[in-house]
Amino acid sequence: MTATHSPDFTCPRVLSVIPPMTQLNTPYPSTAYLTGFLRAQGIDAVQEDLALALVLDLLSTDGLRAVRDAVDALPERERSPSLSSFTEQFERYAATMAATLGFLQGRDPTLAHRIASRGFLPEGPRFESLDVYIDEDGGDPLGWAFGALGVQDRARHFATLYLNDVADAIRLAVDARFEFVRYAESLAQSQPTFEPLAQALDAAPTLIDRALQRLARAAIERHAPRIVLLSVPFPGAVYAAFRIAQTIKAHDASIVTVLGGGYVNTELRELAEPRVFGYFDYVTLDAGERPLLALLDHLAGGRSQQRLVRTFVRNDEGAVQYVNFVEPDIAFDDVGTPTWDGLPLDRYLSLLDMLNPMHRLWSDGRWNKLTVAHGCYWKKCSFCDVSLDYISRYDAASAATLVDRVQAIVAETGQTGFHLVDEAAPPKSLRAFAAELKRRDVSISWWGNIRFEKSFTPELCLELADSGCIAISGGLEVASDRLLKLMKKGVSVDQVARVTKGFADAGILVHAYLMYGFPTQTVQDTVDALEYVRQLFENGCIQSGFFHRFTCTVHSPVGRDPAAYGIQLVPLPPVRFAKNDIGFIDPTGTDHDALGIGLRKAIYNYMHGLCVEDDVRRWFDHLPHKVPKPSVKRQHLSKALAGR
């Protein structure tokens, strides 16, 4: 039933919501930052994680039975091996799920022994992936991954495969768009028109939709907010955010709904679709603190709509209008301390789905998110969105402020692990941060992203390790000095080797983000880059890495000036909704998709210490043509590290 009472915005309660789907092991930090900031301004602010709530609802006894009923409703010919396995073992799933979730939530660690024995959990098709691990001595096929004492890790990996089998059943029987970390992503990612999303929202709700609607209504009834903020970081959270807003408006149309977050900041900068405002009253861009203060002032009658900040509205003529009354942003030192109050920190799931040692940090364990500085101090990389606020506006907090926040967060959460979520944490700030932690005798564990620049000396690496740094990631991108110069990375391969070796020698795990398919990258460039990567592993410089395919975005220097990078952009259709990724034509004609298969195989083996001595051309044996010999000498980096 729709409420009819008149709204009161003089002292409104503000509810910030994490929509499905994001991470399951730790809260996405946007609502924690917004809630902490608003409370510091004296505003009644609360928060909810509906992403976690939805997953736990689907994995409850009632949720599992609803999925089983959906499978049973399918004709026999439409049941895949995954669905057949799920229904055949359903009673075992129902009997083991609660205990397994308790284990993944850290409440029952001793269950690891039963799970690791492989006699406790039902096993579906996802467990077939274990067959790729071959032990030539006939022993434990996962010994290389977990070691003799890794019972907890082994159990988490098996439990994650178990959950993925259930997710497959949900996707195949209930909603083909569902995944644990994204939902209906294709409806929003670089989608020029709102029509696919509108059709999905007008369609009959699925089992997942109905669960989300029920959870959203319960959150509204529990908190009674006048304003609801939906922070959407990724395309895979957009559909659910709109479903939540749709549910809120049906429940009480007077509740003000606001859309913001990383997805909005990158993809909706040219928003022109009025139908969006049937779900959201306002859409804000970039850092949310100043736009929210202006909006709250407007709703309370303190300022006109024309004095909103970085905010899209639908005007009286029904057209989308962007309003940006220029006011200074809140200094990063003054945004306040994020708070996780109200989020169920004991219910997050510590998964282990990827054996990549850095990627597992993303899904394994409860990490407090913290930002050293807003934006990027380098802001020159040609593949990056350097023109946008989240990169271009650099503003660092003092070391004293950062450690104040660390101590407040540890006192609130009881957790001492921190993930620094900067685009690239500045070396000067990290040095001061480490010194302040030591001065106050504060013991934490932390990891984050940096640039592999020469300021990170071996001495600084040791200081960071002493302060609690356990892992560092950084972009090597295409390991080619020619392409690194074209990218304006400001580093060379030799420099990266020296910096990463300093971190590794200090006992810090080093992960390299690697790229292929950059404009004008040739097969020779790719082979040479892989040879450099092989040598980085061989010399103990890096322990983890991941190759991703280059994507051109409209906000990057490549997208804004393609001719300077030797490419031609593929024209986009008229855009009224999302705009970000853009195709391009590279005259080199390199088949990067085929090369990518070999790059991923190589990095997987290198991370496990396998085949590091082999000629890198072995990874491209699947190609119909031979690849050229590396032009890089096999001992190049070992000589560079030795100073020769």
Q: What is the pLDDT of residue 145?
A: 52
Band (pLDDT 50/70/90 cuts) for residue 185 is confident
Mean pLDDT of 89-101: 98
Q: Which residue bears the tokens 């020469």? A: 454
Distance CA 215, CA 32 (A): 20
Phi-psi region of 640 (alpha: psi -120 to 50; beta: other; left: phi over 0): alpha
The pLDDT of residue 23:
85
pLDDT tens digits for range 536-549:
999 999 999 999 99
Question: Which secondary structure element, helix H or strand E, spans residue 373, and what is its range?
Answer: strand 373-374
**Is 517:478 a contact under the CB 8 Å cutoff?**
no
C-alpha closest to that of 141 among 127, 131, 126, 129:
131
Give the C-alpha separation, 264 to 271, whole Å.
Answer: 9
User: Is residue 604 predicted with pLDDT exceeding 70?
Assistant: yes
Please give the DSSP secondary-structure letter assigned to residue 183: B
pLDDT tier, 352 (very low <50, low <70, confident <90, very high otherwise): confident
Residue with tokens 């991954």: 145
Domain coordinates in residue numbering, the chain: 14-49+185-333, 57-173, 367-641
Percent residues over pLDDT 70 in the chain:
95
CA distance 499 to 361: 22
Q: If 0-12 CB within 10 Å is exposed, 13-18 middle and 19+ buried, where does residue 324 land? A: middle
Instruction: Name 510's bridge partners.
Output: 472
- Quick one: pLDDT band at residue 129, thresholds 50, 70, 90? confident
Which tokens hold the place of 145?
């991954």
Architecture of the CATH domain 367-641: Alpha-Beta Barrel (3.20)
- pLDDT tier at 353, thresholds 50, 70, 90: confident
The answer to whether the beta carbons of residues 23 and 29 sit under 8 Å apart is no
Mean pLDDT calculated for residue range 338-367: 85
CB 356 within 8 A of CB 350: no
3 pLDDT more than 80: no
Q: How far is CA 255 from CA 13, 198, 229, 491, 526, in A?
A: 10, 21, 11, 50, 54
Question: Does the structure show a pLDDT above 60 at 149?
Answer: no
Peptide bond into 21 cis (omega under 30): yes
Dump pLDDT digits (tens) for 203-241.
999 999 999 999 999 999 999 999 999 999 999 999 999
Looking at residue 540, what DSSP letter applies? T
User: In what helix (H) or strand (E) does residue 488 lie, and over which residues does it extend?
Assistant: none
The larger pLDDT score, comparing residue 162 to residue 9, is at: 162
Mean pLDDT computed over every residue of the chain: 93
pLDDT digits (tens, 9 = 90+) for 36-45: 999 999 999 9
Helices and strands (H and E) in the chain: how many: 24, 17
DSSP string, 353-388: ----TTHHHHHSS--EEE-SEES-SS---TTS-TTS
3-state SS class at 130:
helix
Q: What is the pLDDT of residue 186?
A: 86
Query: In the predicted model, is pLDDT for residue 144 greater than 60?
Result: no
For 2, list phi and psi in degrees, rounded to 5.
-80, 130
The backbone torsions φ and ψ at residue 496, rounded to the nearest 5 degrees and listed phi first, read: -60, -40
CA separation for the pair 20, 490 (Å, rounded):
37
Judge contact between 500 and 452, C-beta under 8 A.
yes
Q: What is the pLDDT of residue 360?
A: 75
pLDDT, residue 134, reads 40
Measured in degrees and rounded to the nearest 5, phi and psi for residue 539 equal -95, 10
Secondary structure, 3-state, 536-578:
HHHCCCCCEEEEEECCCECCCHHHHCHHHHCCEECCCCCCCCC
Neighbouring residues of 68: CB distance < 8 A, sequence distance ≥ 6: 86, 87, 90
Q: How far apart are alpha carbons 181 and 24 in whole angstroms? A: 8
pLDDT at 525 over 70: yes
Which option is the CATH number for 14-49+185-333: 3.40.50.150, 4.10.320.10, 3.40.50.80, 3.40.50.280?
Answer: 3.40.50.280
pLDDT at 372 over 50: yes
Q: What is the pLDDT of residue 132?
A: 52
What six digits make up the tokens of 101?
A: 């979730």
- Contact between residue 47 and residue 31 where contact means Cβ atoms under 8 Å apart: yes
**Number of alpha carbons in the 13 Å side-chain half-sphere of residue 597:** 8
CA angle 219, 224, 226 (to 5 degrees): 115
pLDDT of 136 > 60? The answer is no
Confidence of residue 579 (pLDDT cuts 50, 70, 90): very high
Residue 278 to residue 244: CA distance in whole angstroms: 12
* Residue 117: partners with Cβ closer than 8 Å, 6 or more residues away: none
